[in-house]
Amino acid sequence: MLPGPEPAELPPDAVEVGRIIDAWGIKGWFKIQPYSASPEALFSSRRWFIQPSERGARRFEGTLRLAIREAREHGDSVVATSPDVPDRNAAEQLKGAHIFIARSSFPTPAEGEFYWVDLIGLAVVNREGVALGQVKDLLSNGPQDVLVVSDDSQGPKPVERLIPFVDAYVDGVDMEARRIAVDWQPDY
């Protein structure tokens, strides 16, 4: 086990936000591949939870809580440092680890903005009140995000709909009611 980070339980609202890809420099910094193009959660939280990679040598077991001193962008990745990781050798022990952050630690999104993790599972209903399914996933195709909506009410094989997550098709998101209203027809 690593000497610094403490064993911990993964918070019930934990969201996987990235993976440690390597040590960075000689002073214990490590490089992260974020799973989001906007990794604000990595910058706002000072407590990360890490779990070992399923592949390769297991350098530690279970879930560890990692105190974060600083995290910042570095090209298309993020670099971070922790008082629990004193040098490059310790940082190398983190290679491949999955990073989780409690959803409650995420920064509050601006009005009309949503974290993808919050949209998964919401019901999707069109203007006529026809249920189109539930958000199973989201995709980014560059200029816009796309809702992947799965409708299993049509039989044994679910129907999958791809609905652009843009104002032209999305009338509104009601987080309290857990639904998204869209201008979309079942046969599109």
Segment 97-156, tens digit of pLDDT:
999 999 999 988 888 889 888 999 999 999 999 999 999 999 888 788 999 999 998 788
The pLDDT confidence band at residue 63, using thresholds 50, 70 and 90, is: very high
The pLDDT confidence band at residue 177, using thresholds 50, 70 and 90, is: very high
Distance CA 43, CA 73 (A): 9
Distance CA 163, CA 111 (A): 21
Distance CA 120, CA 170 (A): 15
pLDDT at 3: 59
Distance CA 52, CA 68 (A): 18
Tokens of 155: 């039989």
Helix (H) or strand (E) holding 140, with range, is: strand 131-140
The pLDDT confidence band at residue 2, using thresholds 50, 70 and 90, is: low
- The mean pLDDT of the chain is 92
Domains of the chain plus CATH, in order, are 6-105 (2.40.30.60), 116-182 (2.30.30.240)
Distance CA 151, CA 163 (A): 13
Is the confidence at residue 38, as pLDDT, over 60? yes
